[in-house]
Structure 1
Amino acid sequence: MTDDQTPWMRLLRELFGDDAESALEELERMGMDPAALAQASGMLSNPAMMDHVLGQIRALVAQSQGEDVNWQLAHDVARGVAAQGGDPTVTAHVAAEHRAAVSRAELWLDAATDFNPSGREPRVWSRAEWIEATMPTWRVLAGPVATSVSQALSGILRAEGDAPGLGAESSALVGSVSPTVCGMHVGQAAGEMARDAFGATDLGFPLLAEPRVVLVPGAIDAFADGLGIPEDEVRAYIALREAAHVRLFSAVQWLPGHLHNLIEKYAAGISIDVEALDDAVRDVGFEEPTKLQEALTQGIFASHHSDEQRETLESIETLLALVEGWVQEITVRAAAPHLPSIGALREMMQRRRATGGPAEDAFATLLGLELRPRRMRDAAALWSRLSLDAGPEARDTVWSHPDVLPGAEALDDPQAWVARWLSGAEEDDVDRALEALLAGGLGDDEEGQESDRPDTGTAQSDAPDDGPDGGTPRG
């Protein structure tokens, strides 16, 4: 029987060249029937479809050569997921409404904090525009972990599909599966985040290289639907939160990089549960990349963490809590004279941040890390007490340096920490810590004397006390 009489064999020959027969035997050994698949897909009766499929496969193989993750595919999948259910272009009228909400928010914030606006023009984006602007950040943060998953998956797939008769072209196709699957995985997660994000700071850290207020009307409208609160109040509240985040990240220039570094540090220590990943591959096989991509969400990260990772995790959790607590305090103070529904809106946002949404869940599937500020209420209480007892200016000076910030132990008793701060004890501790850091040329005797000093309990820039309270590892 000629290839013309068996179009699916022509498909295999296009893919595997001289290895087609060996590839067919290997596929059948794994329980696949290429003829049945081709018949079910309609390719046998539609040459144009077969040409299209071949073109897609060739493109995937070409894109994946030399890459552990197919980033172009990640981008394309993210755009597709973000567009599900519709993603209309932002009209001039809608953009004007949201820019007006940002302008009002900035005026209200002027009365609540001395931190200045970023000075950059706000953006009103569709979900697709959000994807385009934030994908570089996802590539930096998720790239190392995605690469580790891809390399582990590639090793498993090659072991599963190893056959002596397969040549270079067959090997290239098998080798493209892992970058393809991981590209789909990253793209799916980024697309889910795009569907849920109000702006560029939803996760508690900035997704853009430069602090800028961003609003996504589609997500804001979806959040407002069913709340029973006027849409303009919801829009104003979201604009306030986004603008408050941006003011903080713009004024406290060390903060965005510090948060990113902590997340990257945590991600660098993640290990892959190869046994769990192997089980997932065995369950779904590798003939269906979509199912294999879904399997990557099923506990593939090792549940154990090093002491360094646990310290970094505590730092991330505490720092996120402090950021979210400060934003809540500033937002409530700024909104109170203007938004009758501020109480209900604040409660809804607290629930959303505490329970997580698609954005947090999607990020967790990428890094095994839930970015939820679980102690946000404690942090908000600390900032509120500091505002009442010392005033807004003194409150905001606490952000002047990472060593000045309250650590995790301060959230156990915010009132006690504020009392220590007002008495000057915290500042004295910080001064001593800074002196120790600056005394880099101490001799052995002096170093021994330094080490005898009591623990200050203050947060260090790389210490576990710095972190935010919102990240829980997923095992």
Structure 2
Amino acid sequence: MDSPSEPGPRAPGKGDESRSSAAVDWTLAVRVAARLARAEPSMSSYTREQVRSELVELAASAEEPVREVTRLKDGAQVPEALILDRPGWSRAAASSLAGLLGGSIEQRPRGLLAGRASGLQAGAVLGILSNAIIGQYDPFAGQGGQLLLVAPNIIHTERATRVRPRDFRTWVCLHEVTHRVQFSASPWLGGHMRALIDTATPASGEPLLAAGQRLVTAIRSRDGSRDADPLLGTGILGIVLESQPPEQRDAMIGLIMLGTLLEGHAEHVMDAAGPRVVPTVEHIRAVFDERRHERRGLLQWIMRTLLGMDAKMAQYAQGKRFVDTLVERVGMDSFNTIWTSPETLPRPSEIREPEKWITRVLE
């Protein structure tokens, strides 16, 4: 339950039609995403069930080491992880997105042509992501959030990187369970994120032509002289941020800062808890650090930029440096002050210079 003093989800109202999920044909989006999903890695039905059972087990067992490192407690019952295939993840993601937009995945779009166009776009993005997402904690799913693990992608990745399967699966679970703990131990956090999302996607809406004109103006105004900020976005993301009205831009930056903290904290926990429960953690970390920096072709670069994947990698790196520095300087208990309220979350300048957060929040 959200704290009474914190902003919670905004209930859909009469002004929400322009941002409602009814503007998207989610049924079509799910079908398109399923068609774009790659075939599963070859395995027997016995192996598939064995993987599913092991992932459920490892997600549950990761709870204790995560809580030992984070020192975050809530006493809540640990829900079972949901193990999905690629189309299953797309459907779960579509359902969550529809809910965030004030509707449901079963709703029929009001405008047939606009709904189908939006459905095709959403389905294309979901389909591409479904081939890459390994695990995810969705704080808005169900009654109290849901941990999702995409089994085919986990198997594909461990085979491609030749890491030890059980160790890799444990490593993945440490990261995603950390996200679950972050939200379960900070009941206000989900409401705050929802409020930022509501502001970043306002109910008032804006004509598509006007939004496009703002984006074109922002692109033309770039002279190439400004330093790229990998955290606030290079390329498309940075241009989109610059083109937004102040309130929306601030909300989007707030979401980026929150994501940077959440991902950096999870990376810190993986490294702190890993040696105790993942015998080959150093090898796995080295393999994935190398993969994050490997050169890619032009098409891959375009897709990663449009989907914000490179900005996501910057969040991992910068966020981990921020958390590592703070924990080293003030200890985990003092660091956990960060989970007190929206006012104690890091600001952009503090992510880059953690000492500023210490001065503002702890001193």
One fold, TM greater than 0.5?
yes
Aligned to 2:192: 258
Q: Larger relative contact order (C-alpha < 8 A, sep ≥ 6)?
A: 2
| Aligned mates of 2:319, 2:116 — CA distance in 1 | 42
Displacement of 1:321 after TM fit? 0.8
Distance 1:377 1:128, change over 3 A: closer
| RMSD between aligned residues | 3.9
Aligned to 2:69: 112
Displacement of 1:362 after TM fit? 8.7
Q: Does 1:137 align with 2:96?
A: yes
SS of residue in 1 equivalent to 2:252: helix
Q: Of 131, 134, 144, which aligns to 1:198?
A: 134
Give CA-to-partner distance per residue, 1:299-319, whole Å, 9 cap, x none. Answer: 9x9772222233222212211
| Aligned mates of 1:253, 1:80 — CA distance in 2 | 37
Displacement of 1:340 after TM fit? 4.1
| Aligned mates of 2:243, 2:173 — CA distance in 1 | 39
Which structure: larger Rg?
1
| Aligned mates of 1:383, 1:242 — CA distance in 2 | 17
Aligned to 1:40: none
Gap runs ≥5 in structure 2 = 1-21, 104-108, 214-235
- Pairs within 5 Å for 1:318-329: 318-329=257-268
Distance 1:76 1:245, change over 3 A: same
Q: Of 21, 33, 52, which aligns to 1:95?
A: 52
- Count of residues paired in the alignment: 300
Q: Of 66, 69, 85, which aligns to 2:39?
A: 85
| Aligned mates of 2:286, 2:252 — CA distance in 1 | 26
Question: Is the contact between residue 264 and residue 320 of structure 2 (CA under 8 Å) also seen in structure 1?
Answer: yes
Q: Of 84, 87, 107, which aligns to 1:125?
A: 84
| Aligned mates of 1:327, 1:199 — CA distance in 2 | 13
Displacement of 1:179 after TM fit? 2.5
| Aligned mates of 1:382, 1:353 — CA distance in 2 | 19
Q: Does 1:383 align with 2:334?
A: no
Q: Which amino acid aligns with 1:312?
A: A
Give CA-to-partner distance per residue, 1:157-187, whole Å, 9 cap, x none. Answer: xxxxxxxxxxxxxxxxxx7443322222212
| Aligned mates of 2:67, 2:201 — CA distance in 1 | 37
| Aligned mates of 1:346, 1:180 — CA distance in 2 | 42
> Could you tell me the percent identity over the aligned residues?
21
| Aligned mates of 2:324, 2:353 — CA distance in 1 | 13
Q: Of 411, 434, 441, which aligns to 2:351?
A: 411
Question: Is the contact between residue 320 and residue 373 of structure 1 (CA under 8 Å) also seen in structure 2?
Answer: no
Distance 1:247 1:354, change over 3 A: farther
Worse-superposed segment, 267-276 or 251-260: 267-276
Distance 1:426 1:200, change over 3 A: closer
| Aligned mates of 1:143, 1:364 — CA distance in 2 | 25
| Aligned mates of 1:349, 1:308 — CA distance in 2 | 36
| Aligned mates of 1:142, 1:86 — CA distance in 2 | 31
